[in-house]
Amino acid sequence: MPGSIFVDKAHKPTAKEVAAALGNAADLWDEFAQFIRDKYEPITDEWKFYKSWHWKLSRKKRTVCYFFAENNQFTVAFVFGEKAVAVAMQSKLPKKILSDIESARKYAEGRGFYVKAAKPSDLKHLQTLLAIKMAN
């Protein structure tokens, strides 16, 4: 499980602190979050703490994904059911992402895996994964 750099349970990170930590990846974080809102409204969000702070996005009662802030990058956590896994495996996603999905441990709610994002080219992969998740 990835960890956010925000580990003080008593202090929920502010938007300014998150942007400072993300550095150049802050725009990518904002762009992906806005993409999710624009495409899949209504979206709710909340900061949650489990070993570190992470930002959870949901649509109605369904978790969409989790964002973990890191230094100059962030990680997005997805959980895919088996139908979504099958669709992903037929996609043109990078081999590293497909390998992570395929090797993820199976749970009743699906397979959880993580994708790092630090540069604009990572956004396309996140959008593809999101489309697969939301369609299946």
Three-state DSSP at 118 gives coil
Q: Are 27 and 118 in contact (CB under 8 A)?
A: no
Output the pLDDT for position 3.
72
- Looking at 3.40.1350, 3.40.50, 2.60.40, 3.90.1150, the CATH number of the domain 15-135 comes to 3.90.1150
**Among the listed residues 126, 129, 10, the one whose alpha carbon sits nearest the alpha carbon of residue 73:** 126
Q: Are 112 and 123 in contact (CB under 8 A)?
A: no
pTM score: 0.94
Domain-wise residue ranges, the chain: 15-135
CA–chain centroid gap for 74, Å, is: 8
Q: In this structure, are strands 73-80 and 106-107 parallel, antiparallel, or unpaired?
A: unpaired
pLDDT in tens, the chain (136 residues): 567 899 999 999 999 999 999 999 999 999 999 999 999 999 999 999 999 999 999 999 999 999 999 999 999 999 999 999 999 999 999 999 999 999 999 999 999 999 999 999 999 999 999 999 999 9
For the record, the structure tokens of 3 come out as 């960890």
Find all residues with CB under 8 Å of 128, minimum gap 6, and list them: 91, 93
Output the pLDDT for position 1.
56
Burial class (CB in 10 A: 0-12, 13-18, 19+), 19: middle
- As beta bridge partners, residue 67 has 55, 76
